[in-house]
Amino acid sequence: MTLKPKKALLLALVLLPCAQAAHAGTAQTTMSVSTTVLNSCLVSAAPLAFGNYDPVSTTATNATSSITVTCTPGTSFVVGLNAGTASGATVSTRQMSFASNRLGYALFTDPSRTSNWGNTSGVDALAPVTATSTPSVLTVYGRIAAEQSVPAGAYADVVTVTVTY
């Protein structure tokens, strides 16, 4: 027996709801996901450029620089600055060198240039800072004292910045 196309379509539409749907089985479980976030810090420092120094001027030469510290949020850190590379320099008597000549300078934590920025946590390093979700930008205030009797030349030093966290 052959059905005409319209009748076949009609019969299929009537019988369709009666057809058994094939169901796939399912199974589920859970997966634990974890990590440990470490305290970590990155540090960078811009050069401290005093420009020209006039050794006969009665006015000190000031300049600033910045240190950028990025740590895991909530991490407490301390920034210390060492004495530099000049022989005989200390954190309170830093010196730039030109051949065997020395030009004294100082680094401070405050704009009035009264608090020396040293390297010993709890003594003369910058007070502890707690990191947030943005980098901490710290200003270094530098000063070359007036009237230092030194020969002309290009004086330089390298100071190591240490972040302890």
| Category of 74 on φ-ψ map: left (φ > 0), alpha (ψ -120 to 50) or beta | left
* Mean predicted confidence (pLDDT) in 147-163: 97
- What pLDDT digit, counting tens, does each position of 31-84 carry? 999 999 999 999 999 999 999 999 999 999 999 999 999 999 999 999 999 999
* Mean predicted confidence (pLDDT) in 143-153: 97
Give the pLDDT confidence score for residue 145 in this predicted structure: 98
Give the pLDDT confidence score for residue 123 in this predicted structure: 87
* Residue 74 or residue 13, greater confidence: 74
Give the pLDDT confidence score for residue 3 in this predicted structure: 53
- Is the pLDDT assigned to residue 12 strictly greater than 60? no
- Is the pLDDT assigned to residue 21 strictly greater than 90? no
- What pLDDT digit, counting tens, does each position of 107-142 carry? 999 999 999 999 998 889 888 999 999 999 999 999
pTM (2 d.p.): 0.80
Which residue's entry shows tokens 């608090």?
Answer: 115
Name 77's bridge partners.
129
Domains observed in the chain: 50-164 (2.60.40.1090)
Query: Which residues have CB under 8 Å from 54's CB, separation 6+?
Result: 61
